[in-house]
Amino acid sequence: MKKARFILLAIALLTLSFLSYSGGSLRAEEVSIFYTADILGQIEPIQDENGSAVGGAVRLGYIISWQGKQLDSFLLLDAGNAIGPGSLVRFSNGLDQIKIMNQIGYTAMALGEMEFMYGPEALKKCIKEANFPLLSANVVYQDTGKYFSKPYSIYNTFDGL
């Protein structure tokens, strides 16, 4: 009896697996992921040991734009601490950093500890200004238990990947 049940279950599973196959050709998809971390509001370039200007928001935007033109699909993520004590960003309580990230085309950003340096109200303004979600699954309001910001995002590429 147990053997008959097992055989019926195996046949049913095989039948279901064939029915779920769409008949289309299987193909590999590729998604490139670019990420930044700990920008700390440093949007202007710095000088290297040779006195040459390196880094900065303009250079980052150029690199992402150039790479993006060569790819079918990519995500641009920030791991947090993008807003910080940078010399220009501090005058806007982080809003200028968010505006720059909007221009560059970020997909999403995780909240780091530095995002809170100007207070929760300033961060709420940054979240509202951003064209991308600022994510955190571990910052909640003590009184309600609700998330401070969106806890996650799911992205589909143009091909549905």
User: Residue 40 is part of a domain; what is its CATH number?
Assistant: 3.60.21.10
> 116 lies in which domain range?
26-135
Which region among 7-21, 40-54, 66-80, 101-115 has the lowest average model confidence (pLDDT)? 7-21
What pLDDT was estimated at residue 156? 81
- Indicate whether 3 belongs to any domain: no
What pLDDT was estimated at residue 158? 61
Residue 76: which of 104, 34, 129 has the closest Cα? 34
- Indicate whether 19 belongs to any domain: no
- Indicate whether 14 belongs to any domain: no
CA dist list (Å): 72 to 40, 62, 107: 30, 17, 15
The whole-angstrom separation of Cα 76 and Cα 65 is: 11
Decide if 146 contacts 116 (C-beta within 8 A).
no
- Indicate whether 118 belongs to any domain: yes
- Indicate whether 57 belongs to any domain: yes
Per-residue pLDDT averaged across 75-100, rounded? 92
CA dist list (Å): 25 to 17, 22, 150: 16, 9, 36
- Indicate whether 8 belongs to any domain: no
- Indicate whether 13 belongs to any domain: no
CA dist list (Å): 117 to 56, 134, 160: 21, 15, 38
- Indicate whether 9 belongs to any domain: no
Domain count, the chain: 1
Decide if 43 contacts 88 (C-beta within 8 A).
yes
CA dist list (Å): 113 to 32, 47, 84, 90: 27, 27, 9, 15
Chain segment 48-80, per-residue pLDDT in tens: 999 998 888 999 999 999 988 888 788 999 999
